[in-house]
Structure 1
Amino acid sequence: MTTVQPEPIETNAPVPAPESTPHLATTPESTAGGVDGILRVLGLIDLPVAVTDAETTILWCSHALADLAGYRAEILIGQRFAQALGTERPERVTAVLKDVATSERTVGRAAIAATDWAGTVRQLAISASRTRDGGDSGGLFIVAENRTSERRRLYAQGANPMSTPTTGAGGVLDSLPSRFTFENQFDTSQRRAQRTRVPLAVFMCGIDGYDDVLQQLGTDAAKTLIDATAARLSHALRSEDLLMYDGEDRFAIVAESVPNDQVAHQTARRIRLAVSEPISIAGTELHPGLSVGITYGLGTERYDDVAEQAARALAHARSTGANQTATFDSLGLLEAQP
């Protein structure tokens, strides 16, 4: 595992800093202004942010940062920032942050690799600024941004998803999360849906004609089709969307902030269009299709339950013909449309 060595970059645009942070560990909402007002705003916009002391011990963190670390916020309080995020060489990150806290440097930035409790490696960008002006040792505001999905997207684009990909180690399919990791990421998305009160959508996607490719062109051709579909789906999704290979000819997608059926079906049409581009496999030009089943999560459902609903919707879509989308609603009714 390779970790990018953090290299702080100075800027001339200091972040306005409040006066002090004595009570952040337990009561970020206790006052209307200063640090607490800032923290309340950051919590509302779901920004992954922490406030630490000069030794980088976390005094307060947002729910979004806790989701990024994979633990509840109260568990992270009292931990060093680098250890809480699971960085491979935390001493380097800590050195960067402490330098910002104790020197004239106004802002420090670093690119790091971190591993969560499930073993998932994430590429993060962190930015830190002092909570006090001047050279005295003070606390830090630290913002973390997850760049993992962006790297996955760039990889997929670099692999030219509209052409035949290389199967095997290093393919886009191999970069997708395991079911265990995917379900934990789903739980994180569910918590955000519950806080924001905006549903997430679960898409179960099946490759139309996969069985014909398997029977007529063989296993290698079928694997190539699966990998090509993984690359095309990855290319078509937003950076924050989750994608998992669900076995055989199926993929599962979790998309946050999908407020209604119109947005969900627009997403389904976009991914179906991406997959439908012709592809040459084993000397044969194929015109793959994709059928999609949709259901929604409001923050309380288990993944197994919504996955079953989406799978039922997918089966209904396929029963009406290829390249169709069906929705499973709260009453268990299924509706298909092209």
Structure 2
Amino acid sequence: MLRIKRMHDEVSRARTRLQELAVRDDLTGLFNFRYLHTRLHEEFKRAERYREPLACAMVDVDGFKRFNDDYGHDVGDQVIRLVAERLQEALREIDVVARYGGDEFLLILPSTHFSGALTVADRTWRSVSERPFDVNGVPLRVTCSIGVALYPSRDVTSKDELLKAADAALYQAKDEGRNRICVFQHQGYIYTPS
């Protein structure tokens, strides 16, 4: 009987672990792309239903390819892991961070107006860009660009539009020189002092 209980417990732990792996990124332990879309859909529906604001911020590690090229993929992987840690540290308890892919991350900021989104984006930017990363005893300067989008707004009426707007703001930040925050708005882009 004891052996059956142990086997049941092992199967239960294995099932729990598999469920966790299905929604987590292997490298960072953050939520993955699949979970991100499910959670964003849920948060968007909640924001619509209760008429609450919702913000998304897309974060990209500036010039990430050079870490892989100059130091090797092991160092590149370590940079991604360290960025993920700093993103988690910078966020509020209600926020969600997921690895969007490669060197991009997405922050879901529930119940967040314009000023709150800028505060979180600025704290996130500072956590990555203001102090060097210690990778195997080597200090590396890492910066990031951030694109922020808000719901509701004139141009954002769906979760897909929210993602597209955050992506557009991110690429505007990169086009303007990287290492900065850009907010998508229908009148144009707003930059924060980065």
Which category describes the TM-score, using the shorter chain as reference length?
0.7 to 0.9
Structure 2 residue aligned with 1:251, among 102, 105, 108? Answer: 105
1:289 deviates by 1.2
Greater displacement, 194-203 / 265-274: 194-203
Tell me if structure 2 keeps the 8 A contact 1:233–1:275: yes
The reply to whether residue 297 of structure 1 matches residue 155 of structure 2 is: no
**How do 1:295-334 residues align onto structure 2 when only pairs under 5 Å count?**
295-298=149-152, 301-329=157-185, 331=186, 333-334=188-189
Query: Which structure has more helix as a fraction of its residues?
Result: 2
Structure 2 unpaired stretches of 5+: 1-10
Partner of 1:269: 122
Q: Which runs of 4+ in 1 moved over 3 A?
A: 298-304
Partner of 1:219: 73
The reply to whether residue 199 of structure 1 matches residue 53 of structure 2 is: yes
1:319 deviates by 1.7
Identity between Structure 1 and Structure 2 (%): 26
Tell me if structure 2 keeps the 8 A contact 1:316–1:336: no
**How do 1:1-338 residues align onto structure 2 when only pairs under 5 Å count?**
119=19, 173-174=28-29, 176-260=30-114, 262-276=115-129, 277-298=131-152, 301-329=157-185, 331=186, 333-338=188-193
1:207 deviates by 1.0
Aligned counterparts of 2:166 and 2:187: Cα–Cα separation in 1: 11
Aligned counterparts of 2:102 and 2:158: Cα–Cα separation in 1: 23
Tell me if structure 2 keeps the 8 A contact 1:190–1:298: no
- Relative to the length of structure 2, the TM-score reads 0.78
Tell me if structure 2 keeps the 8 A contact 1:243–1:251: yes
SS in 1 for 2:167: helix
Aligned counterparts of 2:140 and 2:31: Cα–Cα separation in 1: 27
SS in 2 for 1:240: coil
Q: How has the CA–CA distance of structure 1 residues 209 and 218 changed in structure 2, closer, same or farther, with 3 Å as cutoff?
A: same
Tell me if structure 2 keeps the 8 A contact 1:213–1:221: yes
Q: How has the CA–CA distance of structure 1 residues 216 and 306 changed in structure 2, closer, same or farther, with 3 Å as cutoff?
A: same
Tell me if structure 1 keeps the 8 A contact 2:44–2:159: no
Greater displacement, 226-235 / 319-328: 319-328
Aligned counterparts of 1:255 and 1:297: Cα–Cα separation in 2: 10
SS in 1 for 2:113: coil
Matched positions, count? 173
1:282 deviates by 4.4
Considering Cα pairs closer than 8 Å and 6+ residues apart, tell me whether 1 or 2 has the greater RCO.
2
Q: Supply the AA of the counterpart residue of 1:321.
A: G
1:214 deviates by 1.7
SS in 1 for 2:112: coil
Q: How has the CA–CA distance of structure 1 residues 209 and 259 changed in structure 2, closer, same or farther, with 3 Å as cutoff?
A: same
1:246 deviates by 1.3
- Relative to the length of structure 1, the TM-score reads 0.47
Bigger-Rg structure (1/2): 1
Residues 86-138 of structure 1: CA deviation (Å, up to 9, x unaligned): xx99xxxxxxxxxxxxxxxxxxxxxxxxx7xxx469xxxxxxxxxxxxxxxxx
